[in-house]
Chains A and B, each alone.
Chain A
Amino acid sequence: MDSTLQALADPRRRAIVELLQQRERPVRELVEALPIAQSGVSRHLRILREAGLVRSRAQGQQRIYELRPEPFDELAGWLQRVRERWNERLDNLERELKRRQQASNSREDDK
Chain B
Amino acid sequence: MNEQEVIERVFGAPIDLVWELWTTAEGIATWFGPKGFTVKVDAIDLRVGGSFVYTMTKDASESEGPSSFSVESTFTVVERPHRLVYESPWRTEMMSTDVTLSETAEGVKLVLIIGATKPGMTGGAAKGWHSSLDRLAETFASRA
Contact = CB atoms under 8 A, between A and B. Distances in A.
Interface of A: 1-2, 5-6, 8-9, 11, 14, 17-18, 21, 69, 72-73, 75-76, 79-80, 82-83, 85-90, 92-98, 100-101
A51 to B, nearest CB: 13
Nearest to B93: A5
Q: Is the interface of B mostly helix, strand, loop or mixed?
A: mixed
Identify whether the interface residues of A are mostly helix, strand, loop, or mixed. helix
Given A2-B91, A18-B135, 13 more contacts: A5-B91, A6-B93, A9-B118, A18-B132, A72-B137, A76-B140, A79-B133, A83-B4, A86-B7, A92-B33, A93-B11, A94-B9, A96-B27
B105 interface: no
Contacts of B92: 2, 5-6
Given A8-B132, A82-B114, A96 B30 contact: yes
A94 B11 contact: yes
Given A72-B136, A101-B13, A79 B5 contact: yes
Contacts of B27: 96
Contact of A92 (B31, B114, B128, B136): B31
Contacts of B138: 76
Contact of A76 (B9, B91, B114, B144): B144
Contacts of A82: 114
Nearest to B134: A79
The 9 A-B residue pairs with the shortest CB-CB distance in the complex, in nearest-first order = A92-B31, A76-B137, A97-B13, A72-B140, A93-B31, A96-B30, A76-B141, A79-B137, A14-B132
